[in-house]
Structure 1
Amino acid sequence: MTKSLALKVHDDAPAATPASARIKLSGVPDDRAMLRAAAELTRDLHAPNPRIYWTDMLLSAGIGYAALAATILAPSALLAVLAGAVAVLALYRASLFIHELTHVKHALLPNFRLGWNLLVGIPILVPSFTYEGVHNLHHARTRYGTVEDPEYLPLALMKPWTLPVFLLAAVLMPVAMLVRFAVLAPLSAVLPKLRRVVVAKYSGLKINPAFERRAPEGELRSQWFWQELGASVFSIALLALVATGVIPLRDFGIYLAVIAGVAVINQVRTLVAHLWENDGEPLTVTAQYLDSVNVPTPGFFAYLWAPIGLRYHALHHLLPSLPYHALNEAHRRLSDALEEASAYHKANYPTLRGLMHRLAASTMGAR
């Protein structure tokens, strides 16, 4: 079956585009052969493997917290820096399971959301309700790349100063989240007007400042309540322990620095997850795919900055429900089955550095 797909002529596929050239996204037709192949060749890959999820998450979190403790207790600055780097990378990997939680069917991973929130989400101040109900809008066909997309800004078309501001926001994220949960959460519980603002503006991991979130409904409402309560209790307790001297200010600063490091790496990855070249028009699925990025070339560095399958971000936009551990096999099948004229091959890029250079060059051209 795969070989028959490979022999199809893609009359409706976009013409080849140099990797450095800006792609005209509006009006790009769907590559129907690619979409059909993506559906047909991956039917057996959609079931998440609980053993992989739990083992990966627990090991990542365990290594991360052990390295955080080692950073605090390190006898020298060099050892502290080395342990801190390990803590950032391990907790970064553990934190990215929040992305999987927005797509997986929770009945297939019993208690994983609860376990992740208790072990990772609440301690690093990003409980899953901040992403669930937000990220799925980024995948909505009529929202992607528009003003209604919470996770999209046309960064490639914006001014050069937007990139350092984008990264600075990540540095300040831990402090902002402490304020959100230790101050705004309890105050908004008794002030309805403030609550509406907190829900709309300060309850979602987003990059589009114009996006306003709606109040949660159904199961998410219950999840939101308990997760926000847990994050609020944790944040208040943490600040109280610091204020009373139980937790030394130095140790608290290291904790904030590690979380900030996690946020900065994630922000850098976000910068290269898309080309950010859409000007606000609704796009076809193929155009959305072409505005997204795969970095399939194997390498140790890629596994550090884009773990949990995120180096296949364009493929993820084709198949959002595919578990992270299946993306490599899905990419192999589609690469073998689809000829070079397919749009599938046009979203593959070799390196993080090249993507950052492309984005920076685009912003310089937008001056």
Structure 2
Amino acid sequence: MTTSLTMDRTSAAASPARVAIADDRAMLKAAADLTRDLVRPDPRIYWADLIVSALVGYGALAAAVVTPSAGWAILAGLVSMLALYRGMSMIHELTHVKHSALPGFRTGWNLLIGVPMMIPSFMYEGVHNLHHARTRYGTAEDPEYLPLALMKPWTLPVFVIVSLLAPIGLLIRFAILAPLSAVAPPLRTAVVARYSALSINPSFRRRMPTGEERTRWTLWEAATSVWAIALIAATVTGVLPLKAFVAFVLVGSGVALINQVRTLVAHLWENEGEVMTVTAQYLDSVNVPPPALLPALWAPIGLRYHALHHLLPGVPYHALGEAHRRLSAVLEPGSPYYKANYAGLPGLVGKLTIATLRPR
């Protein structure tokens, strides 16, 4: 589902032509050569991370509902938000990992996280890979890119605040639009094209699924639709206390908010639609490596190494830290590799805000 505000790219003010960035062969070669042994995902890490995140997330959510103390309820809600955010972030791994290397993991993730939180894996699979396509990144065909640094300053707070409505939008998508579109072909076309992708580019349109993808899509969409309808029905009839439903929505909104803030600083958002080299894409992306500690919370599952991920999309999240250490140990101080490393969230938000304030 498109989670951004409806902003057209024409709202980006014109800026002087940027100098094209050539690929840095030394960095690209080092990245490939030094990480060949890191590409295999470890099933033990993936499954343990998923199960613990789900147990902590739902357990804390239940605690937030039953505790009589407002303070403890807020604390439990925050724990639930962070744990479920970590679990939901694993949808990113599903788009890159070879499923034969993690048997059953897609199914397990959908059952534990995707369906209950109403973001089944088809909402990202077939979408995120376009963001990594060599000739799509940063262009109008990239579902995960907007030139935010070139837009008006007001777009940044709106971009973040609108994410709070995500749980309501997902309930509408799966409890109402999904069943209605099953019997109304024109509506189905619109639902698939416009409301079936976790993207931030409002002009992005999905194609109709075919073959095996269609089978998976139908299965998980039906399961999520049943869950969403049951959630609403249980609340309306009083089977599920209103407090529990509100807590679920608030935690979902919190997850969407922190993810949108993380998205805000995942790139510099300075490209106006030109095809970019791999090095240019890397420099337009962001790493927040150690010693910073907080990124482990707001950019989990390897997302703190987002720029490195664009160099090495096939390296699993649990190996990105080692890949970063290896590259940092061998690349010269003048390498562009270090130019994508930043200290933390406040500086990145400030950098983007200042960029929007520059006269064009």
Deviates further, 126-135 or 332-341: 332-341
What are the equivalent positions in structure 2 for 1:1-367 lying under 5 Å apart? 27-365=20-358
What TM-score comes out, normalization by structure 1 length?
Answer: 0.92
SS of 2:21's equivalent in the other structure is: coil
Measure how far apart 1:219 and its partner are.
Answer: 2.5
Work out the CA distance in 2 between the residues paired with 1:355 and 1:83. Answer: 29
What TM-score comes out, normalization by structure 2 length?
Answer: 0.94
Unaligned 5+ segments in structure 1 are 1-21
Amino acid at match of 2:37: D
> Residue 286 and residue 137 in structure 1: after superposition, are their counterparts in 2 closer, same or farther (change >3 A)?
same
Amino acid at match of 1:269: R
Amino acid at match of 2:138: G
1:15 paired residue number: none
Give the aligned length.
346
> Residue 220 and residue 366 in structure 1: after superposition, are their counterparts in 2 closer, same or farther (change >3 A)?
farther
SS of 2:60's equivalent in the other structure is: helix
Measure how far apart 1:251 and its partner are.
Answer: 1.4
SS of 1:321's equivalent in the other structure is: coil
Amino acid at match of 1:338: L
- Deviations, residues 300-357 of structure 1 (Å, cap 9, x unaligned): 3121111111100000000111100000000011111110121111111111110011
Work out the CA distance in 1 between the residues paired with 2:118 and 2:16. Answer: 37
Measure how far apart 1:23 and its partner are.
Answer: 12
Amino acid at match of 1:319: L
Measure how far apart 1:299 and its partner are.
Answer: 3.5
> Residue 24 and residue 294 in structure 1: after superposition, are their counterparts in 2 closer, same or farther (change >3 A)?
farther
Question: % of aligned pairs identical?
Answer: 64
Deviates further, 217-226 or 240-249: 217-226
- Deviations, residues 121-174 of structure 1 (Å, cap 9, x unaligned): 111111110000000000001000000000000001101111121112210000
Work out the CA distance in 2 between the residues paired with 1:302 and 1:173. Answer: 23
1:65/1:87 contact within 8 Å kept: yes
Measure how far apart 1:218 and its partner are.
Answer: 3.1
Measure how far apart 1:35 and its partner are.
Answer: 0.8
Amino acid at match of 2:211: G
Q: Aligned Cα RMSD in Å?
A: 1.4
Work out the CA distance in 2 between the residues paired with 1:260 and 1:193. Answer: 30
Work out the CA distance in 2 between the residues paired with 1:335 and 1:227. Answer: 42
Work out the CA distance in 1 between the residues paired with 2:50 and 2:110. Answer: 11
Work out the CA distance in 1 between the residues paired with 2:18 and 2:105. Answer: 38
Work out the CA distance in 1 between the residues paired with 2:40 and 2:317. Answer: 10
2:145/2:200 contact within 8 Å kept: yes
